[in-house]
Amino acid sequence: MAYQNLLIEYKDRIAYITINRESKLNALNKATLGELHQAIANAFADEQIGGILITGAGSKAFVAGADIAEFIGVDVAGGREIAREGHTKIFDLIENSSKPVIAAINGFALGGGLELAMACHIRLAADTAKMGLPEVTLGLIPGYGGTQRLTRLVGKGKAMEMIMTGDMVTAAEAHQLGLVNQVTTAENLLPAAEALLQKILSRAPLAIAAAITAINAAGRNDVNGFETEIEEFAKCFGTADFKEGVAAFLQKGKPGFKGE
């Protein structure tokens, strides 16, 4: 598929997805959202790909939000559809994937941009980045999971403050809040994200998938996270990678995981 709004590169088992609408600060219009769904689904289905790294084109923005111009004329039913489709096709898809997804936040991550980063499993930010959920300044609230994921990441009080004021936080503040895992210089952002993802890809893939499932269960009310952990832990014992990992440890060698 040829993409109009994304740059896609596959290298060393990583799919690099760059949102590429620099003149609109990489805002997520309908076309971009559709392409993003396709690119993510393709990377998840591709056995050669171990994980995804998402960033924004240019140095100014990761993603400055959903495309506000497309909100004109949307009614209540339309708003519901925008949110539900976004949740299913992109944000939940990323969060619940069996492959690790890292956001490299290279500039403004606002509204749907911060929601995209929060759906990823890990977030790195350039020291120049700014993040916020400014939807109330438009008469809206976050609709792509922001009220839930921000609350889980930074706690209810700070989420209330950030969402009700619409104020941005700096990368340093975001790090302090636990909203991002690491802050680097802008030029070291992609190398740092890549190094972190490569380290994760050197571990047993099925164990990584199990860890994602179990950790995600901690944020859900509809499943018992401890039961999920027991099941995911147990399943690992049925994998060839488990046997490989333990044998390599006992022989003081390096494991060659196959994701089996």
Contacts with ligand COA by CB under 6 A lie at 24-25, 27, 64-69, 108, 110-112, 134-135, 138
Minimum Å gap between C-beta 46 and ligand COA is: 30
Contact, 120 vs 40, CB < 8 A?
A: no
The tokens for 205 are 């893939």
What the block records as the tokens of 12 is 């060393």
How many CB atoms are closer than 10 A to CB 173?
Answer: 15
Q: Pick the catalytic residue from 35, 95, 115, 232.
A: 115
Q: Which residue shows structure tokens 């995600």?
A: 216
Please say if 161 is a catalytic residue. Answer: no
Radius of gyration of the chain (CA): 19
How near is the Cβ of 100 to ligand COA at its closest, in Å? 27
- Per the CB < 8 A criterion, the answer to whether 167 and 130 are in contact is no
Report yes or no: 67 and 112 within 8 Å, Cβ to Cβ.
no
Closest approach, Cβ 174 to ligand COA, in A, equals 16
Q: Indicate which residue of 47, 70, 95, 135 is catalytic.
A: 135
In the residue annotation, 47 being an active-site residue is answered as no
Q: How far is the CB of 140 from ligand COA (least distance, A)?
A: 6
Looking at the Cβ atoms of 6 and 211, the one nearer to ligand COA is 6
Residue number with CB closer to ligand COA (140 or 177) = 140
Residues labelled catalytic: 115, 135
